Amino acid sequence: MSEYQIVHNPRCSKSRQTLALLQENGIEPTIIEYLKEPLTAAEIESIASKLAEGVESMVRRKEPLYKELGLSEQTPSATEWAQLLTKHPKLIERPIVINGNAARIGRPPETVLELL
């Protein structure tokens, strides 16, 4: 298994750009297609612990489902966010690149270069 992982949606242009950027730098990450195999709440919390901003930064606020669920009017705890992201993986911001104890959201894709 690669030391790098990418939480990836192949239909997302930013996710594809981030994967290509890693590959251009000689990195073949383990690809986690979270829409095919949803992450568990524990996996989400683990990834969030590696992000400087925590689990709330993993939420796609521009996703229509975010508004449909009325999440802008709520203040879920980190555990509640993790459970929501497990139940609704479309709400996970992508891509997320993980290397050891550090992770970065690839928006913009160049952000993940900090992990190299």
Q: Is the pLDDT of residue 1 over 70?
A: no
Q: Residue ranges of the alpha helices (H) in 1-116?
A: 13-24, 41-50, 64-68, 78-87
Catalytic site residues? 12
Residue 105 makes CB contacts below 8 A (sequence gap 6+) with 51, 57, 58, 93, 94, 95, 96, 111
Q: Is the pLDDT of residue 7 over 60?
A: yes
Mean model confidence pLDDT for the chain: 95
pTM of the predicted structure, to 2 decimals: 0.93
pLDDT 10s digits, 16-69: 999 999 999 999 999 999 999 999 999 999 999 999 888 999 999 999 999 999
Domains within the chain, CATH numbers bracketed: 4-115 (3.40.30.10)
Q: Higher-confidence residue: 59 or 72?
A: 59
Residue 31 makes CB contacts below 8 A (sequence gap 6+) with 5, 6, 8, 19
